[in-house]
Structure 1
């Protein structure tokens, strides 16, 4: 009976395995293989030299800056909102529903919304600045302001999913732990770092995996917000690479970053889990 149940589980997982192999694993292997071959079939590093000579290291640097900044902002806001939603208060249901609306908005719609907000001429942000008798800002005219607009747009849309993951972790922490800590004289900061964070490592790792990988692949938002490649990320540079073989090289570099990031998050989670088990 046990043998039959195991095979039943394998058969049920087979469609998902085929889906991942056919649409993710095999194309990734083909991209890596193609990245080391030229159009004539010669094996060399020409494609990688082409990518770096054409775009330099700025796409890589921009990708890391956008990823780190967006994750920091999203996790900060998500922790605050999740902490608020984890406690009962009047109107919590309405607040939750309103807060989750951005997650249901399509990426292209989000891009259009923030393009209208931060448009140099006639944008809502500059209209407010003019009403306050302040000088308008060319939001997409410099690196810093473009970075800010991109991070705000991406965080507005994706902070709700981070909040849901963190909230699901917070509600699993027994309230008795906080009560005992308060009796022992632990303050809010001490309770946060010694109770909340250790008990949410797994949920934090899940949120990091989901959002971190998506941030590395950010493309549509930058393409919609900026009329030119002012803030070129790795995926944006990959889009600009018309030749298929250099594009494979760019995709391979991006894939390597994603795999390293995922491995790092999994390592940190497993290490924290061992520390927690030893402490018990």
Structure 2
């Protein structure tokens, strides 16, 4: 019985009341049911199927032979490379996006034009941006080396070592995806009450202290959302490194792709590599959820 209802009204209109209660409790679930079904069918089920098949050999023998095979293919190196590229690109995007978001919270001439230019890279297709940066960092005739020569400096072989190649991938990926992170951070910074910063300023807190002790704790949940979205995508990065550096250094995604062939036994190796990649994604997501959990406010 609702607080505004009397026992007489409940007795007179039982069916109507039950109908409203049903609508209150289940309408929301019915609205999200299509989205849940979409995720389960196209995400959870394929992931569970890959985990299941990763433990079976092409001959149907249960065991860890697939995982042993991917270890012999350089699994350890691909894990290290994937972690370096993912966390490195994420760090670049985080600091650049934070700077852009802070700038966009201010009022200045040309803000609309700056916002438009800032968002443009996000609309460029991944393969297109990969070809753009392959041209920029080309050892012969590349724009980066042409600019260095213009300054009187020596040309650089941007693909000289494994780490320099990963640096090219991180920089190229950050150019495309920083705008998305900046928009998410901007939404969090825009929701921050100006009175909080004004109170800290009155208390004598400088810019650095206001940022670390006032701004950052209050937008922690928004930053966690940005890191979650981009972090999962970074671990799944594929097209960009495939165009820029090929299979060397090999990442977990390119290792999966290298083994994936419907008409070859190596497809089971691809399942094993995909499961290992899934484990790293779940571990990363768990860390972000713990570190950037929503703050709990207790009633005064």
In the superposition, the TM-score normalised over structure 1's length comes to: 0.95
Structure-2 residue corresponding to 1:273: 295
Q: Is 1:114 the counterpart of 2:137 in the alignment?
A: no
Tell me how far apart the structure 2 counterparts of residues 144 and 28 of structure 1 sit (CA, whole Å).
31
- Is the partner of 2:148 in helix, strand or coil? helix
Structure-2 residue corresponding to 1:174: 193
User: Aligned Cα RMSD in Å?
Assistant: 1.6
Which structure is larger by alpha-carbon Rg, 1 or 2? 2
Q: Is 1:24 the counterpart of 2:46 in the alignment?
A: no
Tell me how far apart the structure 2 counterparts of residues 2 and 259 of structure 1 sit (CA, whole Å).
37
Q: Is 1:230 the counterpart of 2:252 in the alignment?
A: no
Structure-2 residue corresponding to 1:93: 112
- Is the partner of 2:140 in helix, strand or coil? coil
Tell me how far apart the structure 2 counterparts of residues 132 and 84 of structure 1 sit (CA, whole Å).
30
Structure 2: tracts of 5 or more residues without a match: 1-19, 261-265
- Is the partner of 1:273 in helix, strand or coil? coil
* Runs of 4 or more consecutive aligned structure 1 residues displaced over 4 Å after TM superposition: none
Tell me how far apart the structure 2 counterparts of residues 131 and 180 of structure 1 sit (CA, whole Å).
49
Q: Is the 8 A contact 1:112 1:224 kept in 2?
A: yes
More helix by share: 1
Deviation at 1:167, TM superposition (A): 0.5
255, 277, 291: which one pairs with 1:254?
Answer: 277
Q: Is the 8 A contact 1:222 1:231 kept in 2?
A: no
Deviation at 1:230, TM superposition (A): 2.1
Q: Is the 8 A contact 1:166 1:207 kept in 2?
A: yes
Deviation at 1:30, TM superposition (A): 0.4
Structure 1: tracts of 5 or more residues without a match: none
Deviation at 1:132, TM superposition (A): 2.7
Deviation at 1:134, TM superposition (A): 2.3
**Which one is further off, 33-42 or 11-20?**
11-20
